[in-house]
Structure 1
Amino acid sequence: MPLNIDHIRGLFPVLHQEVNGKPLIYFDNAATTQKPLAVIESLSDYYKKDNSNIHRGAHTLADRATRYYETTRGLIKTFINSKEEAEIIFTKGTTEGINLVAATFGRKFIKEGDEIIISTLEHHSNIVPWQILCEEKGAILKIIPINEAGELDMEAYDGLLSPRTKLVSVVHVSNALGTINPVEEIISKAHKVGAKVLLDGAQSTSHLEVDVQALDCDFLVFSAHKLYGPTGLGVLYGKREILDAMPPYQGGGEMIKEVTFEKTTFNELPFKFEAGTPNIGDVIAFGRALEFINDLGKKEIKAHEDDLLSYATEHLQAIKGFVPVGTAKDKVSVISFNINGMHPFDVGMMLDANGIAVRTGHHCTQPLMQRFGIEGTVRASFSVYNTKSEIETLVASVSKIAKIKNK
């Protein structure tokens, strides 16, 4: 059954405003999605009614906060189909999740001469931690190239794999281009040479059904703020046997069983990796965001977003001077483009003057932009609350802008 988009839009207070005298059209969803009122009110309610530290108090507020907090962990378990809640680690976001794996799994299991494989499509957060680790360990970082459409060269990937490969860390969906990578094949081939696989799910979890058991990935990282939830919160999923074998990431309260000056014993999963007072209110609010997604249905959300992508692609491509960047066959609802003769920042500013919010620049993927020989792109990314009418306004605005340089 089609979604009631007018009703959905009514759940998002931020959408109902004017920017530069025009109704806001928010097409920057790949950077962060907007938040439904239920998420905003949940965060407010926590601080109004339930504010207390968790896991360590015997009083009513502590009990309530702990139950609400751990309920979200259970929702995440179902959302990605992990085997158990203990495999769900709360982090500050995708970036911290990757750094956690680099600092723990990497510290223990990566040795001199070992190889780590990433791809040309990676966000800086899935490049820099591995560069740091490789420099410290004397390991080697290898890169999967892409074709002109922005798709991975899987034959080249086959050639990079070897018994020296210890980790493959790749983005599931490109934040800059929207490309959906063939992660099932990537994971299967990596496992055949004994390597572990980390998936950057920052973009995929908001668009696709992600089942970690079906994929058989060893790690998955993602962020709440791209799933209608709060900023500064993320999730690391890891297989229990791997997480158990990894050393702690940080030391402090909660991650311990017993501390003496002679020796400390560490807590069980997931608490071994959750030192200190966590981001309680935002975790609870993220639970409301997941309920919002579940109520709408992942398949229904994707169908609407795919329809928007198809509609926007068809109409934007007809504009003289419009240059798409990233034309993969399998994409989520992201369109990156340039206008002949214009800097992407200038295009973005002109769109903003019409109330249209897009992202411009290199999108934290400078090596990818270098691959295409460009400084950056204009990126329009669509979510469940966007409409074809908004896309028509975007198309009309881009058409007018393109005529400035492409008469």
Structure 2
Amino acid sequence: CPDDTNGAAIYGDPALDVRVEPVREPLYEQEVVVIPGTDRDTITFRITMNEKGSPGFTGKWGGRHPIAFLPFRVEDIDIVHTNAYNTMITDNLALMYIWKQGDPPLEEGEQREVVFTAKRYLAPPWGFTVRDVGDGTALYLVWQKGTAPQIIGYKVYYGTISQIYTDTIDVGVDTSYTLDGLTEGTTYYLAVTAYTAQQEGHFSHEEACIPQTTPRAPTGLTVTDPGVGNTLVLDWNANTELDIAGYKIYYGRFPPFIFTDTIDVGDTVHYTVTELKNDSTYRFAISAYDSDDNESGLSQAAFGTPTRSVGLEEQITMNAYFLSQNCPNPFGYKTIIEYSLPKKVKVSLRIYNLAGQCIRILVDEIQEQGLKRATWNGNDGFEKRVPSGIYFYRLDAGEFTSTKKLTLLR
């Protein structure tokens, strides 16, 4: 190829005669011009030939058909004028077919263009969620602010049939709204749109929610055996109602799986149940209650059997001191610390913060030989909750001292 070219193109029917011609770039200059309108923008995509040639895939100084990516997404496209023999316009690009086999080459300075009008695509708000306020008449809606700079407000649409919205509320520039005056127990379907001075955008995804006074039963209950004996760990999903105050655990042992015990665990969704009987199967369920003491029905039941995978009795001879790692770790409500004493001795088991300050004394007494257990509930010596973080526990028993780290996650 000559020095002033940067490529080559193959023309002709390969079965008959093939020739190689140099490709000069740019064969043409192209531009996209946008004239904003009140309701629709006018967009012109134009090319101007830099020299004589035939844009397309055949012809002297051949090249690609002109294509341009638009500066923004568009919709509702209407072509006003074009002198290309064919065009293709999508939501983000415009393509002109301006030369075909048999056409004469375009002359230097000759132009081809397509002029069309379109609306700018206004994306729906994202992150739309709906939560029950919990008073039986209101729902709380929230969404993320739209990215288009021309957005001046949002509208909430709702109704009692999916995709059929009988009511609309203009909420202005706010990205959250409390919809009240609703009927308790009725399913409402909701969506939200953004709007500009010229147009309203597309609906967000639809959300469905039921205003209720009584909280919904918790979901996702799981029961895990940590293998330390007499202990099971419960986890469940947090309720989404705004007025939820806490949860209660109901449980009982087989037979007959009747709920014989109840624990009010507060606003946590993680709890360790202790003092259970090893190798016995327990049935658990969770309820939620709100700030007005309205209590939900019970969650779906879950089952667990506390076991001791390899007990400390088998790991430790009674002539040795041993301090175990707390379990569970990390923990959110209670954790168990086990240790072994080879003889009767004065024992001190204390919890320290990162500053080295003793915040809780769990054991401070003379104890007999054997395997011992202490429980920490995450409170200090004044029974005040301590914050999440890393803490240390230290065992002093006679001449033996051992310190381990634990993590509290509220």
TM-score normalised to the size of structure 2?
0.22
More helix by share: 1
Greater RCO structure (CA 8 Å; 6+ sep): 1
More strand by share: 2
Q: Which has the larger radius of gyration?
A: 2
TM-score normalised to the size of structure 1?
0.22
